[in-house]
């Protein structure tokens, strides 16, 4: 059974630092992996989607990498800002079906 | 840009009461989803609808029913609410399910069952 883990559950860093959020999954047979952002009291916003054939995706200050063989993905945030404070969730899509398997998220706080 | 709209935003029910959570999307998406989010856990899929006229069970369907009213609307019904159904409910939509399209989420309904 596919399981997705995000460690740590919470992270606090000073503004301006580069940081990495981690996502691990137990079964390397995935169709794609997605990173989402969730602001308090809000829904989720899709940040990046990496297909299984890709190694990384970039959007602005965000870069997501995927290593299927080791069951890991990282979300790199460059030059962090207070506005980046949110909970970041990753989810894997096993074999193009409908059911995303979600991690519990990492709550990120960027201190001014 | 409305995107995915959920109503109501908050609701308190007594055990045994029924209610329907409404969801509508204006992006002409084919697929729609209902999730629940509980503290310290990832989202869990309750039901999904790949296209208008079809619905399928997800990971945790017990105690819920859904209706895909038309392409825009997908409702979730609790027939007899239980305290274990206290949660935040999210509706999402995507262009299709087969190509791993990103899902777009509403702001959620915070439901408490007393």
Q: Is B36 in contact with B60 (CB distance < 8 Å)? A: yes
DSSP state string for B72-114 = SBEEEEESS--GGG-EEEEEEEES-TTTTPPPEE---EEEEE-
Residue B97: its pLDDT value, please?
A: 58
Q: How far apart are CA A3 and CA B102, in angstroms?
A: 20
Phi (first) and psi of residue A59, to 5 degrees: -150, 105
Q: Provide the b/e sequence for A49-76 (b: ≥16 CB within 10 Å).
A: bbebeeeebeeeebbbbbebeebebbbe
pLDDT digit string, tens, across residues B42-72: 899 999 998 888 999 998 999 999 999 899 9
* A62 touching chain B per CB within 8 A: no
**Using CB atoms, which residue from A42, A46, A96 is nearest to B103?**
A46
pLDDT digit string, tens, across residues A35-85: 999 998 888 999 999 999 999 999 999 999 999 999 999 999 999 999 999
Residue A86: its pLDDT value, please?
A: 97
Tell me the shortest Cα–Cα distance from A21 to chain B, in angstroms: 16
Q: How do A4-5 and A44-51 pair as beta strands? A: unpaired
- Residue A96 scores a pLDDT above 80: no
Which chain B residue shows the shortest CA-CA distance from A44? Answer: B105
- Residue B98 scores a pLDDT above 60: no
CB contact under 8 A, B102 and A41: no
Contacts of A49 in chain B (CB under 8 A): 100, 102
């Amino acid at each position: 059974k596919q399981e997705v883990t995000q460690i740590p559950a919470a992270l606090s860093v000073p503004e301006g630092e580069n940081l990495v959020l981690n996502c691990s999954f137990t079964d390397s047979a995935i169709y794609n992996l997605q990173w989402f952002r969730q602001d308090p009291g809000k829904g989720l916003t899709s940040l990046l989607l990496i297909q299984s054939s890709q190694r990384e995706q970039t959007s602005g200050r965000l870069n997501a990498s995927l290593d299927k063989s080791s069951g890991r993905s990282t979300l790199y945030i460059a030059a962090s800002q207070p506005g980046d404070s949110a909970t970041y969730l990753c989810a894997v899509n096993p074999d193009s079906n409908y059911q995303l398997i979600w991690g519990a998220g990492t709550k990120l706080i960027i201190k001014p | 840009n409305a995107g995915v709209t959920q109503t109501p935003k908050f609701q308190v029910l007594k055990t045994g009461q029924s209610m329907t959570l409404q969801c509508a999307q204006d992006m002409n998406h084919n697929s729609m989803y209902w999730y629940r989010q509980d503290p310290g856990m990832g989202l869990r899929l309750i039901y999904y609808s790949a296209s208008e006229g079809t619905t399928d069970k997800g990971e945790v369907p017990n105690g819920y029913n859904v209706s895909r009213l038309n392409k825009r609307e997908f409702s979730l019904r609790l027939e007899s609410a239980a305290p274990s159904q206290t949660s935040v409910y999210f509706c999402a939509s995507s262009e299709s399910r087969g190509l791993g399209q990103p899902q777009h989420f509403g702001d959620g309904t915070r439901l408490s069952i007393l």
